[in-house]
Structure 1
């Protein structure tokens, strides 16, 4: 049952976490703002315009920074809360009254659960909704911003998007170059397909396919469909390059056009921001990307590790709290400073283990499930081993 002291500890926990995050994020904004001051002052705007750009940019970035630093700040909050309890002499009366030490950990576990729920909601709901804002430049997200496309290959069909300009407002590619594989799609290289505009359609009705397929409609192509030396489909998945048929509004009859359709699972988001896709997309989207054959095996392997980590992190946060309690409130501690130093060392070792396992799992050195859940196994072992050392 909750008591007045429990509610006091929960409020202290949440207040401490808020203070730590505001302090850390304020320091981040100051350092990043001075480092990239030229980006905010692009075009020589007035002072109020610069401050408006900075406020808009860092307000959106706060969600991303909160996602990255939340677990670390949780551990620091637990340590600070326990240290304040010992420093203020609040622990001795509770122990003298016969209250078990781990009963005092219940409010900390409740606070950890509340903050973890906020982190999960931020990760699953907020970050995917503001993904475009997170990728905006510091000088402001203009509608005419056209970042350069980096080469991306579809590993299921061999089609490579080599270059082009990404129209973020309309979500299509302009002045693109697309390379078709030889001999998988064409028998001889005619050079890159120069495309005036390419627009992605996730569910396009294509003749010869029972279900809608994903692909890009290419407009203003330098090669007509009849001039391409296409090879027969090498698999039962069907052809990769097709001619687009559209219905004439006047006659109502469908006829061939000069547009081409490239069947590929590469979507606009993969071309725009593949490196941060796993971090800012929700779990359903992450599962879809793992199943997407257009990604390479290494990328899908890294996405699988990230998926395991999302289910692992809430449990790891709770275990970190149980590890911190006996390390800060040790039975034979020489001083509070020494106890905090020991706790920081153990938590640093766990973080190093987590990063090392993530690196090994992303490159296939160890199984993905072991890479994600190894820190949980070690943290649970530490929590059990240190339980007998807590002050009672």
Structure 2
């Protein structure tokens, strides 16, 4: 058994810092992860004298850590930005609550977001998608990423019963929360001030909305949270607000970035044309886009007891970081993992996580993405880059913030339904 602690560096002296958000906007994390997957031990990164974490980069190790909630807890926080500081939402918000409490808390929400329930929302989702992509046919430059960043807010905002006038503001605030290092989203006061303001505004917004909705319950997701009973009681206001924030953040992280990856990286490779010519591959192609993008970059966990993973001793209290983007490129599980295969089967990626904390909104994301590509490829052709795409500077989200493109309406395409 080995103890591979390398102060200040994840692989060897001079290696890239995995905490650095610029690695995911201008660097090459996949090359770093590939070297780490070849090792027969885990590597450790020391952030400072008091904080460090073990890197989980292989698929099997990632699955083990994320499934074993008794040994690897999420209740102290799930994002590297909170390393060494316990998350105040621990035990209140689904993402930072472990079973059995987590299981009971999510039961009604999981039912409301189940695939059968989401299927009933397909017409609504299709209308919202068409509203966003129709301007692509106007002949000018279209920022595909800007449209995609707005898409989950449109869908989830409708399902949560949030006023449409608030969607652009809420979309920007949730992006700020996961990309406060990005100069485009950071306030002049710096990262800490940016996050503090965004969190304060979002939580105040949901507190006000919750008070109103309690007297005006409907069939939206916020009403589901307000009326949910677990442990013999209703959720308290802090729990409701924390889970509203989590739902919105989760949607805005997972949904937009896989289509952005497709448009940014495969617009001139024949992949999009192949996909458009064979609409029967839409389901597998969407799953491959999710695997390839791995929009949620990592999950943080803490060991609750001494344990051994990949010939490495992890002590109780140690932080471990599961790199989902690395697990989804593990050649042992995904042959030709570096290639993009729209017909890949099987494809048991972990883009939505795995185990008890598997993304509760995965059905909404999948249905939305399938409708998006179905409509996009049926209505438009001749996609071309119209400028240099720009990556989002974030160590939590792997994504793009600007992807300028042009396209032509496809001859004979159905007109947008009014």
TM-score by length of 2: 0.21
Bigger relative CO (Cα 8 Å, ≥ 6 apart): 2
TM-score by length of 1: 0.22
Q: Higher Cα Rg: structure 1 or 2? A: 1
Higher percent of residues as helix: 1
